[in-house]
Amino acid sequence: MTAAETVVEQSGRLSNVPTQRLGRGEAMQATLEISPQEFDARAEVVAPQAEDARPVIELEQIHKTYTMGDVEVHALRGISLTIKKGEFVAIMGTSGSGKSTTMNIIGCLDRPTKGRYILDGEDVSEMSKDERADIRSQKLGFVFQGFNLLSRTSALENVELPMLYAGIESAERHSRSMEALRSVGLAGREHNHPNQLSGGQQQRVAIARSLVNRPALILADEPTGNLDSRTSVEVMEIFQKLNRERGITLVLVTHEHDIAEYADRVVVFKDGRIKEDYRIEKPRDASRELKLLPDVEQDSD
Amino acid sequence: MNILMIIRVAFRALVRNKMRAALTMLGIIIGVSAVIAMVSIGQGAQASVQAQIEGMGTNLLFVSAGAQNVGGVRSGAGDGGTNTLTVDDLEAIRREVPSVAMVTPTVNARLQLVVSNQNWNTTVQGVSEQYPDVRKWATQSGTFFTEADVRSAARVIVLGQTIADNLFPGADPLGQSVRVMNLPFKVVGVMARKGQDPQGRDQDDTAFAPYTAVQKKLLGNTRVQVAYVSAISQDATYTAQTQITELLRQRHKLSANEPNDFSVRNMTDVAEAANETNNIMTMLLGSIAGVSLLVGGIGIMNIMLVSVTERTREIGIRMAIGARSSAVRRQFLIESIVLSLTGGLIGILLGVIVSVAIPRMIGWPTLVSTAAIIGSVIFSAVVGIFFGYYPARKAAGLDPIEALRYE
């Protein structure tokens, strides 16, 4: 049983929701039943586990409307979603389902038209552009499909970049970056530029970059979209390790079912609403799969 | 992110595009070096005019025939067309004005000097024996002619250095004979080298003879074009000017409403006029060069706009990982300031080199002006800020979502 599952069970028991796995489609109501106030009250009762059960993301009736010319496009029509610390959630949906908009809102790149978003205990739904930049700097890490590393800049400097904006001093920046690169298996590649790294390695640099400011949450937007299947498994292995060994909360947007199966929980979007929200009882184990895969070219670094 | 980091990042961005950065800076480099070179030419001219004027003696006055406002029709003063200043006038000035120390008339004639098979076209000035004292201009060898020579209209001549060099190359001209309009004149002295006058004429290309000899034997008239008068002291020049004017008006029997038919000017007036001309020239040259600085600034803006568009994705990444708009704006602003300031510094170097080279190459005096250098540094920084602000604001205003999607 993973830490996240334990957490869900704990909080489930407290709010008198049956301890069984939540049926598909019931998850939304289940999470909605716990209001923040109630949650705080309970947190005091179960002190040791309360820290782990803290919600990182609380979306309440989020609406997002774009005006394109005269036409109003309702990208999100009342999304409510709670993601707790240590969860590994995959967000799925076809294009136009609202998953990217949700991602942008969760990532504080965009603001909801209506509704409330509490990130790590802070209401960020009304924050200004600068405040959101600070929140991104302190609480969020991003991993993109296209890696989005600065070209002609070494891996080390790419990883140091978020700390530059967070005002962390040079020595600390260096040691944290080295550590982050080591943790994603890129020790010795610190001074390579992105064009000297494979796609998988570039994505690992991006993961290291998302880690260095010790965010409350890492958002990965189609992180395996540009990678072949083996490299995809390698990247998912890193995500699973970060989640299980370091308890990092992960939100992964993907449209591939087999990638979503590495997560513990899947939220499916359709037409601006959450269509399904279910837990995966036996997520795929990337580590084990890698061992079973034929040894093509094991990364020597 | 501290300022040093941003400057480092800016430098790295510029180094990545060396060729482009160099071409962009070229506008500023040319602008700044042109401003510095032009201003130093202007200042050099001014300084040399000042030095010459001071060298002529600040207690010097000019009395010339004809009115001072020598417009188109009355192109009078000193060209021999007017006959309003006489030797007697000058004698009266010398005798009756207490603040006057010395007077020398000058009678100019454009003539050819001949020595055996050599000849030289030059100006022969008929002056009195007091000329060297009035002009503070001594002979280098030999002596100037004497009062007796003037009284007797002796055919003696003192050569300027340029004439001596050309008519007697490598030889001593003293005691030799020079023919002027077929009359032999004996060389009694050679003047010390004097250089150019404020109008850029070679003062050493002049020969001096007693004015009596020039009037009677060469020109055949008694006109005096200009007289140099020296006051007893610098403070006395204005008094002397007034007294000479009164005296000449009396002698010329001018009624109160008639204008002067002569003019009296002091060196301060001449210096001021020369300064004014030079200032206008310096400003003109400087502002033409300034226009090229402006064009250079527009070049910077253009490149910065291209750079912002090219790096839209980079801006998106920086914003997504926590850069505030202000940090992005600062980055691009500093990039453009670094660009223009680097260009400015190279321009200063080039401008100073040009300013030092000009006197050697074409002989114009220059004076490198500290004010122009400081001004250029400030101006190029201002250009960087002014022309970098709009592109930087554009970068800072990007929406991170859009920017990340930009291909």
Task: Quick: pLDDT tens for A151-165.
Answer: 888 999 999 999 988
Residues of chain B contacting A130 with CB distance shorter than 8 Å: 324-326
For residue A167, list chain B residues with Cβ-Cβ distance below 8 A.
1
Kindly state the helix (H) or strand (E) to which residue A79 belongs, with its residue range: strand A71-84
Q: Which of B314, B322, B401 sits opposite A165 (nearest CB)?
A: B322
Shortest distance between the Cα of A141 and any Cα of chain B, in A, equals: 7
Residues from chain B that touch A144, judged by Cβ atoms under 8 A, are 404
- Would you state the pLDDT for residue A16? 41
Q: Does A150 touch chain B (CB under 8 A)?
A: yes
Of B322, B325, B401, the CB nearest to A137: B322
| Residue A41 reports pLDDT greater than 90 | no
* A165 touches B: beta carbon within 8 Å: yes
Q: Which residue type, as a one-letter code, is found at position A230?
A: R
**What is the ipTM metric for this complex?**
0.79
- Asked whether residue A52 carries a pLDDT value surpassing 60, the answer given is no
pLDDT 10s per residue in chain B (407 long)? 577 777 887 888 888 888 888 998 998 999 899 888 888 888 888 888 777 777 777 788 888 887 655 444 444 444 444 677 888 888 888 888 888 888 888 888 888 888 888 888 999 999 998 888 888 888 888 889 998 998 898 999 999 999 988 888 888 888 888 998 888 999 999 999 887 776 667 888 999 999 998 888 888 887 788 888 888 887 888 888 888 888 888 888 888 888 888 888 887 777 788 788 888 888 888 888 888 888 888 888 999 999 999 999 999 999 999 999 998 999 899 999 988 999 999 999 999 999 999 888 887 888 888 888 898 888 888 888 989 999 999 999 999 999 988 87
With beta carbons under 8 A apart, name residues in chain B contacting A213: 322
Two tokens, residue A160: 């140091």
Residue B236 pLDDT: 84
Locus of tokens 């590393």: A149
> Measured between CA atoms, how close is B315 to chain A, in angstroms?
10
pLDDT (0 to 100) of residue B381 = 87
In 10 A of CB B282, how many CB atoms? 21
Q: What is the CA radius of gyration of chain A?
A: 19
Length of chain A: 301
Q: Which residue has 């402006």 as its token pair?
A: B294
3-state secondary structure of A40: helix
The answer, for B326 touching chain A at a CB cutoff of 8 Å, is yes
- Assess contact for B337 and B297: CB atoms under 8 A: no
In sequence order, the β-bridge partners of residue A279 are A265
Choose the closest CB to B404 out of A129, A148, A164.
A148
Give the Å distances, CA to CA, from B95 to B244, B249, B262: 11, 16, 19
Q: How far apart are CA A14 and CA B16, in angstroms?
A: 59
Could you report the per-residue pLDDT of A66-116, keeping only the tens digit for each?
888 888 889 999 999 999 999 999 999 988 898 889 999 999 999 999 999
Output A244 or A69, whichever has higher pLDDT: A244
What's the average model confidence in pLDDT over A115-139? 92
Inter-residue contact B383 to B339 (CB < 8 Å): no
Closest-approach residue (CA) in chain B for A151: B314
Query: Residue A100 CB: number of other CB atoms within 10 A?
Result: 20
pLDDT value of residue A202: 94
**Which of B5, B7, B321, B325 is most worth mutating to test chain A (most A CB atoms within 10 A of its CB)?**
B321
Cβ(B248)–Cβ(B89) under 8 Å?
Answer: yes
Q: Return contacts of B5-8, CB within 8 angstroms, 24+ apart.
A: B5/A164, B6/B330, B6/B331, B6/B334, B7/B334, B7/B338
Partner-chain contact B401 A110, CB within 8 Å: yes
Say if B405 is an interface residue toward chain A (CB within 8 Å): no
Mean pLDDT of A243-260: 92
Please state the rounded mean pLDDT for residues A38-53: 41
Q: Which of A109, A152, A165 sits opposite B327 (nearest CB)?
A: A165
Mean pLDDT taken over chain A: 82
Q: What pLDDT shows up at residue B238?
A: 85
* Cβ–Cβ below 8 Å for B324 and A130: yes
Written as six digits, the tokens of A296 are: 């093509």
Query: In chain A, pLDDT over 70 holds for what percent of residues?
Result: 80
Yes or no: say if B294 and B380 are a contact pair by the CB < 8 Å rule: no
**H-run or E-run covering A183:** helix A170-183
| B321/A165 touch (CB, cutoff 8 Å), yes or no | yes
CA distance B357 to chain A (A): 42
Nearest residue on chain B to A131, alpha-carbon basis: B324
In terms of Cα–Cα distance, which of B406, B212, B394 is closest to B317? B406
Q: Does residue A1 have a pLDDT over 90? A: no
Instruction: Please report the sign of the dihedral spanned by the C-alpha atoms of residue B249, residue B250, residue B256, residue B258.
Output: negative
Residue A124 has pLDDT above 70, yes or no: yes
B326–A130: do the CB atoms touch at under 8 Å? yes
